[in-house]
Amino acid sequence: MRIGLVDVDGHNFPNLALMKLSAWHKRRGDTVEFADPAARRYDKVYMSKVFTFSRDCTDRYDCEVVRAGTGYRDYATILPEEIEHICPDYSLYGVKEAYGFLTRGCVNRCSWCVVPHKEGEVRAHADNEEFLDGHKHAVLLDNNVLASEWGLMQIEKIVRMDIRVDFNQGLDARRIARTPEIAALLARVKWIRFLRMAYDSRAMQDDVHKAIELLRKHGVPARRLFFYVLIRDDTEDALGRIRELKALGCQPFAQPYRDFEHEGKPSWEQWRLAYWCNRKPLFHSVDYEEYRKKRT
**What is the DSSP code (8-state) at residue 15?**
-
Residue ending a domain, choose from 56, 87, 118: 87
Torsion 152-157-162-166 (CA) sign:
negative
Can you give the residue range of the structural domain that contains 263?
A: 88-294
Q: How far apart are CA 264 and CA 84, in angstroms?
A: 32
Q: Are residues 44 and 13 in the same domain?
A: yes
Residue of 250, 243, 192 lying closest to 216 (CA atoms): 250
Residue ending a domain, choose from 87, 106, 128: 87
Q: Is the pTM of this model over 0.85?
A: yes
Q: Please determine, for residue 113, whether its predicted confidence score (pLDDT) is greater than 80.
A: no
Higher pLDDT among residues 173 and 121, named by residue: 173
Q: Please determine, for residue 262, whether its predicted confidence score (pLDDT) is greater than 90.
A: no
Can you give the length of the chain in residues? 296
**Beta-ladder partners of 140:** 100, 167
Angle between the N-to-C axes of helices 205-217 and 180-187, in degrees from 0 to 180, rounded to the nearest 10: 50
Domains identified in the chain, total number: 2
Q: Are residues 103 and 244 in the same domain?
A: yes
Secondary structure (DSSP) of 169-207: T-B-HHHHHH-HHHHHHHHTSEESS-EEEE--SGGGHHH
Q: Are residues 222 and 288 in the same domain?
A: yes
Model confidence at 98, pLDDT cuts 50, 70, 90, reads very high
Instruction: Identify whether the C-beta of residue 154 lies closer than 8 Å to the C-beta of residue 102.
Output: yes
Q: Are residues 77 and 16 in the same domain?
A: yes
Residue of 141, 192, 121, 185 lying closest to 163 (CA atoms): 192
pLDDT the model gives residue 126: 98
Q: Are residues 94 and 82 in the same domain?
A: no
Mean of all residue pLDDT scores within the chain: 94
Model confidence at 249, pLDDT cuts 50, 70, 90, reads very high
Q: Are residues 111 and 77 in the same domain?
A: no
For residues 185-200, average pLDDT: 98
Q: Are residues 122 and 170 in the same domain?
A: yes
Q: Are residues 93 and 78 in the same domain?
A: no
Q: Are residues 227 and 157 in the same domain?
A: yes
pLDDT digits (tens, 9 = 90+) for 120-164: 789 999 999 999 999 999 999 999 999 999 999 999 999 999 999
Q: How far apart are CA 133 and CA 210, in angstroms?
A: 36
For residues 95-111, average pLDDT: 88
pLDDT the model gives residue 112: 62
Model confidence at 260, pLDDT cuts 50, 70, 90, reads low
Q: Are residues 137 and 187 in the same domain?
A: yes
The 3 state secondary structure assigned to 134-165 is CCCEEEECCCCHHHCHHHHHHHHHHHHHCCEE
Q: Are residues 93 and 223 in the same domain?
A: yes
Q: Which ranges constitute the DSSP H helices of 61-123?
A: 81-84, 115-118
Residue ending a domain, choose from 54, 87, 120: 87
Q: Are residues 93 and 83 in the same domain?
A: no
